[in-house]
Chain A
């Protein structure tokens, strides 16, 4: 089973709202990732968690706050977003973050619209 699930599939939020995106995998993977993808562009890495610890933050604004409660779950907390944050948010997981070139498995994404 190479499934990564993400909820919700679609999210519309105002600039003053607080919402969370959720991601789950049950493949025993030790690395999890958040990507942001704008239309007609490649995904851009936001955060990497390795063994439940934040290992990479690609200078993401603090209105995005990641959380890894356990090895299977990854959340992205959203607060005071801007319209330009509207995008497809993809979660991914891989067996390890380093020590090997493991493929990343992606979820279906959450399409976020900020109004």
Chain B
């Protein structure tokens, strides 16, 4: 079974609009961490935002926020006021438990921002 599922292979959004990228996860651990990364065409993976399983508040970092719904096992990324530079591949990732250092990635969503 997929541990991390990103069902949107591609998304389009107009500049200055908000966009939500979906991510659902599957784990039986109580303690886990969820991460979002951005990968522009240059290749570098850029860390965006982190949500811990015990965090009660949704994480926010500038224009990025994470809509964390624990009961539904979803951790959607919301990008507000999209910019042309936001065009990139976005990966959701999870680390399960504290005794392993494996980051499991979803298949990614390609976001394209148009003027």
Q: Does B43 contact A109, Cβ atoms closer than 8 Å?
A: yes
Q: How far is the CA of A108 from the CA of B45 in the complex (A)?
A: 7
How far is the CB of B63 from the nearest CB of chain A, in Å? Answer: 18
Q: How far is the CA of A42 from the CA of B33 in the complex (A)?
A: 18
Interface size class of A (residues with CB under 8 A): 20 to 34
Given contacts A43-B105, A103-B50, contact A108 B99 (CB under 8 A): no
Q: Does A56 contact B108, Cβ atoms closer than 8 Å?
A: no
Q: Does A107 contact B107, Cβ atoms closer than 8 Å?
A: no
Given contacts A56-B102, A98-B100, contact A103 B43 (CB under 8 A): no
How far is the CB of B33 from the nearest CB of chain A, in Å? Answer: 3
Name 6 interchain pairs, CB-CB below 8 A, sorted by A.
A42-B105, A42-B106, A42-B108, A45-B102, A100-B98, A107-B44
A residues near B (Cβ < 8 Å) are: 31, 33, 41-43, 45, 48, 50, 55-56, 88, 90, 92, 94, 97-101, 103-109, 111
The 5 closest A-B pairs by CB, nearest first: A101-B33, A42-B105, A106-B45, A97-B101, A109-B43
